[in-house]
Structure 1
Amino acid sequence: MKCRMCGFEFDETKLKNRGCVDCGKHSNCNQVHCPNCGFGNHPELEKEFDFIIKLKDRFKKRKSAN
């Protein structure tokens, strides 16, 4: 997984408790926390973020072509 905040790549399956440090704000958190910066990434939203990145790249290409 690649952290959407800092770009650090890590294997989420090797993290103890999905990188969570038990903040106490909520239970059964579905986030995977980056071991580098602590940002909570949502694995189920990975496809949506990939789509947004591809869309942004397409707009950048169009803008640079004009």
Structure 2
Amino acid sequence: MKCRMCGFEFDEKDLKNRGCVGCGKHGHCNQVHCPNCGFGNHPELEEEFEFINKIKNRLKIRKKDTNYL
């Protein structure tokens, strides 16, 4: 998994405490906190963010291509 806040890559399966301590769910939390910055990432949203990033990159490429015309 890649943290959406700091970009640190880590394996969420290797984490001892996946969920946050403050939410009260202790282990049943859907968030996976980054060991580097502590940001709570949602594994379910990874595919959605990947799709959005692909669209953004395509738009950037198109914008660069049209600037040369």
Q: Which is bigger in relative contact order (C-alpha 8 A, separation at least 6)? A: 1
4+ aligned runs moved over 6 Å, structure 1: none
Deviations 1:4-61 (A, max 9, x none): 000000111110121x4401x3423200000000000000111100100000000000
Correspondence for 1:47? 47
TM-score (norm 2): 0.85
What's the RMSD between the two structures over aligned residues? 1.2
In structure 2, stretches of 5+ residues that fail to align are none
Alignment-mate amino acid for residue 62 of structure 1: R
Q: Specify the structure having the higher radius of gyration (Cα).
A: 2
TM-score (norm 1): 0.88
In structure 1, stretches of 5+ residues that fail to align are none
Equivalent position SS for 1:16? coil
Correspondence list, 1:1-66, <5 A: 1-18=1-18, 20-23=19-22, 25-27=23-25, 28-66=28-66
Alignment-mate amino acid for residue 32 of structure 2: V
- Aligned residues of 2:31 and 2:43 also touching (Cα < 8 A): yes
Quote the Cα distance in structure 2 between the aligned partners of 1:26 and 1:56: 36
